[in-house]
Amino acid sequence: MLIPIGDITTEAGATIVGAEIAVQRWGEFRGDPNGRNNVLLVEHALTGDSQATDWWCEAIGPGKALDTDKWCVVCTNAIGSCYGSTGPSSKHPDGGTWGSRFPAISIRDMVTAEAAALDALGIGRVHAVLGGSMGGARTLEWTLLYPERVDFALVLAVSARASAWQIGIQTAQITSITQDPAWQGGDYHGTGTTPDAGLAAARRIAHLTYRGELEIDERFGTSPQPGENPLGQFREDGQRFSVQSYLEHQGRKLTERFDAGCYVALTEALNRHDVGRGRGGLNKALHSINVPTMVVGVDTDILYPYHQQEHLSRNLGNLLAMAKLSSPVGHDAFLVEARQMDRILRNFIMLTEQTPSGRDLDATRGVYDI
């Protein structure tokens, strides 16, 4: 379903006119739209979409950890993406495609737009917001921008702000795309050419930050791609190690399902991720969060190393729990390690049912203050 949310003014002051947000829902809504209810708001990662039961199929469904017989799971597509919500590849109200007219957005802008979509749906408050990676960044911002609308939060495989290393590797990806001659300043839509080579190159780099070297090496090692000889007298592009073929496949797959301009927009938003901006710094911002928040990291994550989740756990104002995924897979473990994630999600849901929410605590404090 597409929800019109009108004009959105970004954190940096630009306007996205006539914005829309794609939303999907599983399970029946129960409770008070502005009070206690059963909504679990799930936040997707960089190239994800609102079809959460696809990319988190082991986690969401009847009888699963996010049990749709009990909970109403809602997932929106981030503004800037290409899966229904308004982004660089969307039609502009004035004609043509947004392209380079689409402004730079921040994680906060995604949450602002998402909150507007929930408003339009009449959902004033949710039981929990959950997400990993870019979805984790959005979850954190929910607890800062709209603490009164979030009872609990689960933040997976992310940090309080982009690290310089992340900005570096993410910028390498953006540059791969913008230096592709087919990029045309971001206005390639409708020209008949698309910066597929740049987007594929970006994805190959990104994939090596999503997947742990232990897992990739266990799968491919130094094996040649069948029928090819990467050890010949001269280096040839068509004579590859298996891992090269695998990464090229990952790159090609993304060009078939994702828009390069949207990839740049969302990656730029990750570069700008910083919960401390305008809030007196990182730790002061984290300390101000009263939403009970569970933090999860992955032991082999090189993109968002575990020390970044430890940093969150030390500084969050209301830490609910902390868990570590042990996996050779690296960053993507929150999507891949279904068995461990099942335990973590069930623990999180159980804790949310046994713990006073941030709002309850505020109410209690209010009583004592009198």
Annotated binding residues: 203, 332
Q: Are strands 72-76 and 66-67 parallel, antiparallel or unpaired?
A: unpaired
Out of 44, 176, 331, 357, pick the active-site residue: 331
Q: In whole angstroms, what separates CA 184 from the centre of its chain? A: 27
CB of 201 to a copy of itself, least distance (A): 7
CA distance 165 to 171: 10
Q: Are strands 150-156 and 293-298 parallel, antiparallel or unpaired?
A: parallel
Neighbours of 285 (CB within 10 A): 21
Nearest residue to 180 (alpha-carbon basis) of 198, 204, 200: 198
- What φ, ψ does residue 68 adopt, rounded to 5°? -75, -5
Nearest residue to 131 (alpha-carbon basis) of 204, 194, 60, 83: 60
CB of 25 to a copy of itself, least distance (A): 33
CB of 337 to a copy of itself, least distance (A): 19
The helix (H) or strand (E) run that includes residue 143 is helix 134-145
Binding stretches for a copy of itself (CB under 8 A): 10-14, 100, 103-104, 106, 161-169, 171-172, 174-176, 178-179, 197, 201, 204-205, 207-208, 211, 213-214, 216-217, 219-222, 230-235, 237, 241-244, 247, 264-265, 268, 271-272, 274, 277, 302, 305, 307
CB of 334 to a copy of itself, least distance (A): 19
Question: What residue numbers does the annotated binding site for substrate cover?
Answer: 203, 332
- Our answer to whether residue 331 is catalytic in this structure is yes
| CB-CB contact of 30 with 128 (8 Å) | no
Output 7 or 69, the one with its CB closest to a copy of itself.
7
**DSSP string covering 34-69:** TSSB-EEEEE--TT--S-HHHHTTTTEETTSSEETT
How do the residues of the chain divide into helix, strand and coil, expressed in percent and rounded to 5? 45, 20, 40
- Our answer to whether residue 67 is catalytic in this structure is no
Q: Which residue's structure tokens are 């950890």?
A: 65
CA distance 364 to 44: 33
CB of 196 to a copy of itself, least distance (A): 12
Output 174 or 316, the one with its CB closest to a copy of itself.
174
Output 39 or 174, the one with its CB closest to a copy of itself.
174
Out of 133, 176, 313, 357, pick the active-site residue: 133
CB of 232 to a copy of itself, least distance (A): 6
Out of 85, 301, 311, 327, pick the active-site residue: 301
CA distance 312 to 282: 10
Catalytic residues: 133, 301, 331
